[in-house]
């Protein structure tokens, strides 16, 4: 596995994915990152104005341009941790600052904006609207992605929110997008979170742009809701909470319990907070919201029940290492006799993992597509 990211001025960076335990033969950057960094050699920009880097997955762009003190904006706690870990490996002080995807911009217009395309058009629209508010006519703006992920609909969004847009030739199956802020276009309002009614209830579920299953109820979550434990006490964790739909109903069905909502996405946690505060305003004291990589640092014996609809990809790569990390962390955080409930597609082998880790697992329910497993922390 190549961990050496070549720099155009010579030299290289040592770059690894995060968490460190889960490289899975995957590189911490892609051709689009290299293309972007190399292309910059052909452009000048106002280096006295801030440099903004958006959606840098593991820190390749931010560290390659470290000497310009970039501001790195991301929705992902894992990306922030990856950047910090890779900075340390390269003996680079974190020179710039980090901004979460919902943070306001308080600087002058950036001289340069570099963006890796986000996974969904909803997030792209949100970020382009944001950029339309902060970019000036002199801002150099270059986005990059795999060529297959840049469609004419993608370019139309750049035209709509920013202005004139053109693309580069493809290089190693990556492509660049150049867009110039048209000052005759008014800045766009940030898109509001989507909300949709939760079937069988009077509740609405709130979803910021980057949230999983943003426009409707995930079918795995629907199955879990049909079997959600009730009348429990202590602390319930909604691990990988997304919009907070499982934790919301856990609050309703377990009026004596507290619920901790955990996700690595800042927009997910903000969405879960909206979901709870709009639907259960008098129960917010029973809810906690934590941006975290799985249950990093969670105390032993800090949860009686953990509910989990695990993710199955990281930065487009299909992987089960996050699910595995969630199960390991869950086992550590649970109190004796505490339970981990996992909903998963039938074809995944989570029952084997749970059995290996907890020494037990039972099937709570199953249908043609999903299974809910329960594993108990025995002393």
* Interacting residues with ligand SAM (CB under 6 A): 78, 212-213, 218, 221, 240-242, 245-246, 262-265, 268, 293-294, 309, 311, 322
Q: What minimum distance in Å lies between the beta carbon of 143 and ligand SAM?
A: 22
Q: Which of 282, 116, 140, 275 is nearest to 198 (CA)?
A: 275
Q: In angstroms, rounded to a whole number, what is the distance separating the alpha carbons of residues 118 and 315?
A: 9
- Altogether, the residues listed in the chain come to a count of 379
Whose Cβ is closer to ligand SAM: residue 80's or residue 304's? 80
Q: Which is nearer to ligand SAM, 28 or 174 (CB)?
A: 28
Residue whose structure tokens are 């969405």 = 271
CA–CA distance, 78 with 69 (Å, rounded to integer): 20
Whether 157 contacts 124, CB under 8 Å = yes
Closer residue to ligand SAM in complex, CB, 61/228: 228
Identify the H or E element spanning 245: helix 245-253
**Bridge partners (DSSP) listed for residue 308:** 239, 342
Cα Rg of the chain (Å, integer): 22
For residue 339, the minimal CB distance to ligand SAM (Å) is 17
Distance CA 254, CA 231 (A): 5
**Matching residue, tokens 């990988």:** 240
Of 70 and 310, CB closest to ligand SAM: 310
Give the H/E segment covering residue 134. helix 121-134
User: Is 147 or 328 the residue whose CB approaches ligand SAM more closely?
Assistant: 328
Minimum Å distance from CB 99 to ligand SAM?
18
The span from the CA of 57 to the CA of 222, in Å, is 30
Q: Find out whether 337 and 376 touch, Cβ atoms under 8 Å.
A: yes
Report in angstroms how near the CB of residue 326 gets to ligand SAM at its nearest.
Answer: 7
Which lies closer to ligand SAM via its Cβ, residue 112 or residue 344? Answer: 344
Tell me the closest approach of the beta carbon of residue 240 to ligand SAM, in angstroms.
Answer: 3
CB of 321 to ligand SAM, least distance (A): 9
| The token pair that represents 80 in the structure block | 């922030």
Shortest distance in whole angstroms from residue 247 CB to ligand SAM: 8
Q: Give 92 or 311: the residue with its C-beta nearer to ligand SAM.
A: 311
In terms of CB distance, is 74 or 265 closer to ligand SAM? 265
Q: Which is nearer to ligand SAM, 161 or 212 (CB)?
A: 212
Q: Which residue has the tokens 């299974």?
A: 371
User: What is the closest distance, in whole angstroms, from the C-beta atom of residue 192 to ligand SAM in the complex?
Assistant: 19
Yes or no: say if 289 and 324 are a contact pair by the CB < 8 Å rule: no
Phi (first) and psi of residue 191, to 5 degrees: -60, 140
CB of 13 to ligand SAM, least distance (A): 23
Tell me the CB-side half-sphere exposure of residue 339, using CA atoms within 13 A. 17
């Amino acid at each position: 596995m190549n961990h050496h990211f070549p720099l155009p001025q010579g030299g290289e960076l040592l770059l690894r994915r995060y968490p460190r335990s889960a490289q899975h033969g995957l590189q911490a950057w892609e051709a689009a990152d290299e293309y972007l960094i190399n292309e910059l050699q052909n452009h000048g920009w106002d280096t006295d104005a801030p440099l903004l880097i958006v959606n840098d997955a593991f820190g390749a762009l931010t560290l390659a341009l470290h000497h310009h003190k970039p501001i790195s904006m991301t929705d992902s706690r894992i990306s922030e941790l990856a950047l910090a870990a890779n900075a340390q490996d390269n003996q680079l002080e974190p020179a710039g600052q980090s901004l979460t995807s919902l943070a306001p911009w308080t600087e002058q217009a950036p001289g340069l904006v570099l963006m890796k395309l986000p996974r969904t058009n909803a997030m792209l629209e949100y970020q382009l609207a944001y950029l339309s508010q902060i970019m000036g006519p002199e801002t150099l703006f270059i986005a990059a992605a795999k060529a297959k992920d840049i469609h004419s609909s993608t370019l139309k969004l750049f035209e709509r929110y920013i202005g004139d847009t053109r693309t580069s030739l493809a290089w190693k199956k990556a492509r660049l997008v150049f867009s110039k802020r048209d000052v005759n276009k008014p800045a766009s309002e940030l898109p509001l979170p989507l909300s949709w009614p939760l079937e069988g209830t009077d509740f609405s579920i709130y979803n910021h742009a980057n949230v999983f299953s943003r426009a409707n109820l995930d079918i795995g979550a629907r199955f879990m809701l049909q079997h959600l434990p009730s009348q429990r006490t202590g602390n319930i964790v909604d691990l990988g909470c997304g919009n907070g739909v499982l934790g919301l109903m856990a609050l309703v069905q377990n009026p004596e319990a507290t619920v901790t909502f955990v996700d690595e996405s800042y927009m997910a946690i903000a969405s879960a907070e909206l979901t709870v505060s709009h639907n259960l305003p008098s129960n917010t004291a029973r809810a906690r919201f934590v941006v975290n990589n799985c249950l990093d640092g969670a105390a032993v014996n800090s949860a009686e029940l953990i509910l989990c609809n695990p993710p199955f990809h990281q930065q487009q790569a299909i992987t089960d290492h996050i699910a595995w990390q969630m199960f390991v962390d869950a086992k550590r955080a649970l109190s004796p006799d505490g339970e981990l409930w996992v909903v998963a597609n039938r074809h995944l082998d989570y029952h084997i993992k749970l059995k290996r880790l907890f020494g037990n697992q039972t099937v709570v329910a199953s249908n043609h597509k999903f299974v809910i497993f329960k594993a108990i922390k025995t002393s």
